[in-house]
């Protein structure tokens, strides 16, 4: 069967924003504003306001945000950084690429870092901890911050999947020295190519990132402050992202209502673990609707065979890829969920008929 429900449909979303996106495009083109100009500043200001930090610095990717954050914190060879065993590989690669040692720890059934495991992993060499707010659900930031303060650790938040989520009314990405964001096209706030940013309240960290994204140069004085990179967010992407950021609060509400429909229609199926958690401190923004099925790939294959695009990207945990040379210290929760995860279509362009079809297809696997 061909595809009946797509995982995301960027062309359909474009049609709903066409006028504004086209206007943004023509404005950039007509002014010739391509690098480090007003559109970038505007987006950075709006992003900082949205997250509730003083600064935002636009970068080329979420990876760059993580990498520059670690560099800004002075983390390097000889240092250890605690990172979850279940995350997108870039969280860990950023640690390896600054020369530090990633110390992987297991996650909880909600996919996020297990604070007890993180606490047990602290050694005299531990310099930082990277909580990853996965799929739109915040980590337990009470526990993460408490551990960080107690052991004097730097917190770099990998919030690449959670723009708009909050913990005790405060947005994720505003707790650590930085919040790291990805605007990869299929993110909740996605560009039309790669993009990323950090948010921070620390002026030194913001200045460091602004210089390092431009080969280490202070653009005001022309002075090089170190060997840097070429990784700033393009003006064109910033202009597109600014258009989309205005819609984000409404889009989050829409995602939450789709998640609620999935919950109502599927919560009677005992072999499914749905991503709804009883914790009034946190808000889920459903970047992904990742459920766990006891039947693993048999379930996700059934969805695909019936024309529903689902994501099962984490079947082989990143630490089991030999070339990455990581230490597998045994992560039972990560191992279990890697076999079971399946992300259902979750986006703002999906229509009600498609949602019903997804639900029907899930239920039919269980003979309902
Ligand atoms: C949790 C997480 N961390 C880091 C990244 C890296 O972001 P990017 O692809 O923009 O480099 C992503 C994006 O895929 C992500 O989901």
DSSP secondary structure string for all residues of 246-304: HHHHHHHHHHHHHHHHHHHHHTT-TTEE-S----TTB----S-EEEEETTTHHHHHHHH
**pLDDT for residue 313 is more than 90:** no
Phi and psi torsions of 8, nearest 5°: -140, 160
Q: How big is the chain by its Cα radius of gyration, in Å?
A: 21
9 lines ligand 1 (CB under 6 A): no
Mean pLDDT of 280-287: 98
Please report how many Cα atoms fall inside a 13 Å half-sphere around the Cα of residue 137, on the Cβ side: 23
pLDDT digits (tens, 9 = 90+) for 75-109: 999 999 999 999 999 999 999 999 999 999 999 99
Residues 6+ away with beta carbon under 8 Å from 260: none
CATH number for the domain running over 247-365: 3.90.1150.10
Distance 179 CA to ligand 1 centre (A): 12
181 ligand 1 Cβ < 6 A? no
Q: Where in the chain is the domain with CATH 3.40.640.10?
A: 10-104+112-242
Cβ(63) – ligand 1 distance below 6 Å: yes
**Cβ–ligand 1 contact at 347 (below 6 Å):** no
Can you tell me which atom of ligand 1 is nearest the CA of 183? 10
Distance 94 CA to ligand 1 centre (A): 11
Looking at residue 260, its pLDDT comes to 98
Q: Which fold has domain 10-104+112-242?
A: 3.40.640
Considering only CA atoms, which of 232, 201, 238 is closest in space to residue 215?
Answer: 232
Distance CA(126)–CA(97), nearest Å, equals 17
Work out the pLDDT band at 1, boundaries 50, 70, 90.
confident
Section 133-142 average pLDDT = 98
What residue owns the CA closest to ligand 1's atom 12? 160
pTM here is: 0.98
DSSP string computed for 68-119: HHHHHTT--TT-EEEEESSS-HHHHHHHHHTT-EEEEE-B-TTSSB-HHHHH
111 lines ligand 1 (CB under 6 A): no
Which of 69, 107, 184 has the most ligand 1 atoms within 8 A of CB, as the residue to mutate?
184
CATH 3.90.1150.10 domain range(s) in the chain: 247-365
- pLDDT band with cut points at 50, 70 and 90 for residue 294: very high
**CA nearest neighbour of 84 among 47, 123, 110, 63:** 110
Predicted local confidence at residue 314, as pLDDT: 83
């Amino acid at each position: 069967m061909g595809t009946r429900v797509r995982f995301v449909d960027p062309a359909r979303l474009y049609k709903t924003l066409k006028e504004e996106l086209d206007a943004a495009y023509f404005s950039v083109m007509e002014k010739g504003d391509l690098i480090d100009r007003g559109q970038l500043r505007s987006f950075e200001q709006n992003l900082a306001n949205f997250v509730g930090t003083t600064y935002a610095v636009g970068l080329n990717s979420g990876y760059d945000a993580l990498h520059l954050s670690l560099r800004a914190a002075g983390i390097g060879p000889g240092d250890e950084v605690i990172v979850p065993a279940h995350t997108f590989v870039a969280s860990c690669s950023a640690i390896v690429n600054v020369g530090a040692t990633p110390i992987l720890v297991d996650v909880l059934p909600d996919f996020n870092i297990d604070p007890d495991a993180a606490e047990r992993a602290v050694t005299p060499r531990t310099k930082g901890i990277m909580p990853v707010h996965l799929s739109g659900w915040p980590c337990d930031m009470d526990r993460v911050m408490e551990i960080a303060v107690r052991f004097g650790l730097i917190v770099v938040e990998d919030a690449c999947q959670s723009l708009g989520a909050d913990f005790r009314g405060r947005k994720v990405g505003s707790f650590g020295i930085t919040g790291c964001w990805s605007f990869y096209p299929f993110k909740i706030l996605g560009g039309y190519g790669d993009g990323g940013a950090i948010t921070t309240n620390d002026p030194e960290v913001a200045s460091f990132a602004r210089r390092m994204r431009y080969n280490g140069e202070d653009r005001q004085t022309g002075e090089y402050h170190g060997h840097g990179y070429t990784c700033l967010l393009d003006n064109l992407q910033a202009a597109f992202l600014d258009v989309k950021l205005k819609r984000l609060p409404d889009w989050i509400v829409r995602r939450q209502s789709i998640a609620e429909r999935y919950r109502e229609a599927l919560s009677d199926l005992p072999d499914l673990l749905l991503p709804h958690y009883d914790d009034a401190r946190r808000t889920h923004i459903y970047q992904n609707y990742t459920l766990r099925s006891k039947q693993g790939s048999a379930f996700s294959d059934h969805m695909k065979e019936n024309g529903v695009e689902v994501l099962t990207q984490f079947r082989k945990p990143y630490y089991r890829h030999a070339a990455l040379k990581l230490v597998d210290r045994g992560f039972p929760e990560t191992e279990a969920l890697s076999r079971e995860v399946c992300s259902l279509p979750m986006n703002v362009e999906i229509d009600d008929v498609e949602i019903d079809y997804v639900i029907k297809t899930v239920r039919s696997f269980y003979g309902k």
